Structure 1
Amino acid sequence: MLTPPPSRAFDGVRLHVVTGKGGVGKTTVAAALALALTRRGKRVLLAEVEGRQGISQTFDVPPLGNDEVRLVSHAEGGELWGLSVDAKAALLEYLQTFYKLGRAGGALERMGVIDFATTIAPGVRDVLLIGKVYEAVGRTTGHKRGHGAKVWDAVVLDAPPTGRITRFLNVNAQVADLARVGPIHSQADSITRMLRNRQSVVHVVTLLEEMPVQESVDAVAELSEAGFGVGAIIVNQVREPLVDEALLETAARDPEGVGGRVRSDLAAVGVKATARTVAGLLSQAHDHAERVALERGLTDEVAAQGLPTLTLPSLTSGVEDGGVAELADVLLGQGVR
């Protein structure tokens, strides 16, 4: 099944929200996407909201805080900056910006009010985290919001996993319903409009495994139903078959049928073809053939979503020593821009 071109998921987009089931490499993919956009000459902000310091670990820099830190400068003029959004700092910043509390904000923190608001009050934490991202997306070089050029050409958000991404993005719509008038309603409504604007999309990262694919399919349906644009499905850690197509088919249908080839190949490299060795290799060949068949079926299931699909290879050496840069190059080669 043909999938739409990547341009559908990236043209005109300024906010790239990256989600995926835990363990699929969401943070790595978000970093690779941000780096790819940087190599297009863009000024990019890569932000995280889960407090895991995944960005600092990926780029081997000190832990990030609530201020942007430059991570990469590219020869084409692009820059990549990093940010780890902290709910407590975001609330203090919000109170100072909108209510000019000054020292009163510190007093509230000492009294435990800030901790209460960010850890106990339902939904407030997510409101603050998204609010900081909203501020970054809309920030301009002028003295007032909306005046001057945009500070960031693109913002990439390493977002919560698929299990709660819709609830996370939709929290401001719920706040707007609760606070029907006033500044809280206005800001919550503005954030919701930004997230549902065509310049904002959610990219879903998956592996070719049954649970991640199923959770990705469910997330695509939930996000679409909630009014959020879904960009691309990014299939991570794709592995090429170890043997040719004809051998795969035979190994899946009749493992013993490739016994002769296994024995001759072993002899050719000077390995004694004992019955135990051959049997073990045939068993592995059968398992590998079944695995490839499963992955192809899951690939069809991903394609059936009708979204642009990007694939990233499984790196034998991991993401260290330039692995993220290698993945960024792969994304560029597939049309990320």
Structure 2
Amino acid sequence: MSRLQVVSGKGGTGKTTVAAALALALATEGKRTLLVEVEGRQGIAQLFETEALRYEERKIAVSAAGGEVFALAIDAERALLDYLQMFYKLGSAGRALKKIGAIDFATTIAPGVRDVLLTGKACEAVRRRDKQGRYVYDHVVMDAPPTGRVTRFLNVNDEVAGLARIGPIHHQAQSVMRVLKSADTAVHLVTLLEEMPVQETADGVAELRAAGLPVGKVIVNMVRPHVLDEDAVREVSEGGRAAVAEALGSAGVPEAAELVGPLLEQAAEHAERVGLERSQRRLLTGLGLDSHELPMLGDGVELAGLYQLASELRKQGAGE
């Protein structure tokens, strides 16, 4: 079981929600999960109905399975200050650099270095051990950038190769890549059963594989229940409007005849959507990856819904 679980997906597919649910699902009895945010959107804090995340690890939830979930918002400037202290022992000098804007300049002018700092902090949490030699966190879940940017974000070694061919930054990038390209890591892609998200997922899988990054699972989010398929609609339509009206009348529905037309139209639209979702599911199956499916929650994703999604992931074997 990979210890670093990276979650990406096209915007609007609910990747932050899935990352949060996965962190809860992995936090089984006696285990600790760290949920990491790298984009500064504070989506995790909103989902868990807690105060804004900071550059410090703190417990935000206890899972229904008895584990603990901690969270961290990685800030590139703070990560660079930690880095300067770790390798150069700058201390107060590093803080002075921040005051004059040098830290912000460094992370802006060299985005590859920024990504090394963000991914490096997550990888450090993966490797960290306590005094007894045990891992501090059993799993680290990263809410990563969207599919279109995730390969470049994770492939930091190539990004900094032209900036630093030797020295601490180069060695840090290599250290990060040893984690990201190992069995300790899995990159999961969140999608919907719609054409654009599925196509972007397929493209993302191809890019990750080409970069030698370990692709995990496809997580299909917001799956709607199938009430009718094409065959059922055809059977009803061929039975005639009169037969449908009679059935509605027998069930005690008032003004049944006037409802037949709109009812059949809605049924046909539903059947068309079912057919589209089946075709998209076949495309996802063709990627050769294991998958999870999460239902659409009618009331939106509040804290209770998040626990429900985590339960669904555990039922489907997440964490095994």
Same fold (TM over 0.5): yes
In structure 2, the gaps of 5 or more residues are none
Could you tell me which amino acid in structure 2 is paired with residue 49 of structure 1? V
Instruction: State the SS of the aligned residue for 1:213.
Output: helix
Partner of residue 249 from structure 1, selected from 207, 216, 231: 231
Between the aligned partners of 2:64 and 2:234, the Cα distance in structure 1 is 49
**Counterpart position of 1:8:** none
Show the counterpart of 2:294: 312
Cα 1:79–1:321 shift into 2, 3 Å:
closer
Partner amino acid, structure 1, of 2:310: A
Change (3 A) 1:252 1:109: farther
What is the identity percentage for the equivalent residue pairs of Structure 1 and Structure 2?
A: 55
Letter in 2 for 1:284: Q
- The equivalent of 2:85 in structure 1 is 96
CA contact (8 A) 1:66 1:86 kept: yes
**How many Å separate the matches in 2 of 1:76 and 1:286?**
42
User: Bigger shift: 99-108 or 225-234?
Assistant: 99-108
Counterpart Cα distance in 1 of 2:57 and 2:240? 58
**CA–CA distance in structure 2, aligned partners of residues 258 and 329 of structure 1:** 43
Corresponding residue number in structure 2 for 1:34: 23
1:31-180 pair list within 5 angstroms: 31-74=20-63, 78-142=67-131, 148-176=133-161, 178-180=163-165
Give 2:142's aligned amino acid. L
Shift of 1:74: 4.7
**Paired residue type of 2:289:** L
Distance 2:240 2:107 in 1: 62
Distance 1:74 1:58 in 2: 14
- Equivalent position SS for 2:193: coil
CA distance, structure 1, for counterparts of residue 240 and residue 184 of structure 2: 53
Q: 1: distance between equivalents of 2:29 and 2:237?
A: 48
Kindly state the Cα deviation for residue 260 of structure 1 after the two structures are TM-superposed.
Answer: 3.9
The alpha-carbon distance between structure 1 residues 256 and 185, as it changes in their structure 2 partners (threshold 3 A), is same
Letter in 1 for 2:44: I
**Is the counterpart of residue 327 in structure 1 residue 309 in structure 2?**
yes
8 Å Cα contact 1:141-1:149 kept in structure 2? yes
Match of residue 189, structure 1, among 139, 152, 174: 174
User: Which residue among 3, 6, 9 is the counterpart of 1:17?
Assistant: 6
2:111 alignment partner, SS class: coil
Distance 1:257 1:221, change over 3 A: farther
Deviations 1:138-179 (A, max 9, x none): 11114xxxx822111110000000010000001233324642
Indicate conservation of the 8 Å contact 2:36/2:141, yes or no: yes
Aligned partners of 1:311 and 1:96: how far apart in 2? 44
Say whether the 8 Å CA contact 2:147–2:200 is kept in structure 1: yes
What CA distance in whole angstroms lies between the structure 1 residues aligned with 2:243 and 2:86? 73
**Paired position in structure 1 for 2:208:** 223
1:255, 1:285 within 8 Å by CA — same for their partners in 2? no
1:216, distance to aligned residue in structure 2 (A): 0.3
State the aligned residue count. Answer: 318
**Does the Cα contact within 8 Å between 1:255 and 1:283 map onto a contact in 2?**
no
Q: Give 1:94 shift.
A: 1.1
- Structure 1 residue 284: Cα displacement: 1.2
Change (3 A) 1:32 1:272: same
Which of 178-187 and 28-37 deviates more?
A: 178-187
Report the CA distance between 1:113 and its aligned residue: 0.6
**TM-score (norm: length of structure 1):** 0.89
AA aligned opposite 2:115: D
Contact (CA 8 Å) 2:25, 2:65: kept in 1 or not?
Answer: no
Please give the secondary structure, in 1, of the residue aligned with 2:204: helix
Offset at 1:263? 1.4
Q: CA deviation at 1:255?
A: 4.0
Residue 107 of structure 1: CA displacement? 1.3
Q: TM-score if structure 2 supplies the norm length?
A: 0.94
CA distance in 2, matches of 1:71, 1:101: 32
1:296 aligns with 2:278: yes
Cα offset, 1:121, TM superposition: 2.6
Does the CA-based 8 Å contact 2:80-2:103 persist in structure 1?
Answer: yes
Supply the AA of the counterpart residue of 2:281: T
Deviation of 1:23 (Å) = 0.4
Q: Partner letter of residue 253 of structure 2?
A: G
1:242-293 deviation line (CA, Å, top 9, x unaligned): 23x5xx4142588464634531343223320244x32222111111111000
Measure how far apart 1:193 and its partner are.
1.3
RMSD over equivalenced CA pairs, Å: 1.9
Q: Indicate how the Cα distance of structure 1 residues 193 and 284 shifts in structure 2: closer, same or farther if over 3 A, else same.
A: same
| Alpha carbons 2:16, 2:44 under 8 Å: kept | yes
